[in-house]
Homo-oligomer: A and B are copies of this chain.
Amino acid sequence: MIKGDDTRRRLLHTAAGLFQRQGYHGTGLNQILDASQAPKGSLYHHFPGGKEQVAVEAVTRSAAALSARIGDALGDGTDPLTGLTRIADLLGGRLLASGYLDGCPVAAVAQDAASGSDPIRSACGQAYAGWLDVLDTALRRLGVPAEECGPLGIVVLSAIEGALLLSRVQHDVGPLHAVTAHLAATITAASTT
């Protein structure tokens, strides 16, 4: 059935958006259903695991999508500054466009689920692991010594996550830009090329 898969996809997409903004506990199943224009029973057909399963899949999907965007931004032939600027523009653009509502697609759920549901926490952990992986290869390609790529990737991801939170809460993209500028300089300095 085309319809069925479409409903499932729509459900997931809507859920991802709502979770990103409101977190896990702040988002109701009914809200997801309403926003998806999906009938009540459909959700449990497609997601027998209930709300938790929806969250896990939504996080995974969002993370994969963003992972691809990050990979593109840091792709072949880009210097650190350009790459990070692209990322900052992407994330900052979403933040601004949504009125400081859309931050990291994973963080809100991660904070909610860190205590609580282990499957969700694990999914968030894998999301971050995936991004770290993308960053690792990118840094390597930029000429950062192999043994520094891991920690530096962690620094990059952490700083961006933190900056997103700060920017979101303070309604000001300043922190995001300050951080990306700093990170670009750091990476440039670390690259031996």
Chain A interface residues (CB < 8 Å from chain B): 21-26, 100-101, 103, 107-108, 110-112, 114-116, 121, 124-125, 128-129, 150-152, 154-155, 157-163, 165-166, 168-171, 174-175, 178-179, 181-182, 186
How many copies of the polypeptide does the oligomer hold? 4
Contacts of A21 in B (CB 8 A): 114-115
CB pair B114–A169 under 8 Å, yes or no, is yes
Closest to A112 in B: B23
A sample of 12 more A-B contacts (CB under 8 A), given A22-B25, A26-B112, A158-B163, is A22-B115, A100-B114, A108-B111, A110-B169, A111-B111, A154-B179, A158-B159, A158-B160, A159-B162, A160-B162, A161-B161, A161-B162
User: Which chain B residues border A162 with CB–CB below 8 Å?
Assistant: 157-163, 165
Provide the residues of chain B in CB contact with A115, threshold 8 Å: 21-22, 26, 101
Question: Once the chains bind, are A111 and B107 in contact (CB under 8 Å)?
Answer: yes
Question: Do the beta carbons of B114 and A112 come within 8 Å of each other?
Answer: no
- Inside 8 A of A159's CB, which chain B residues have their CB? 155, 158-159, 162, 179
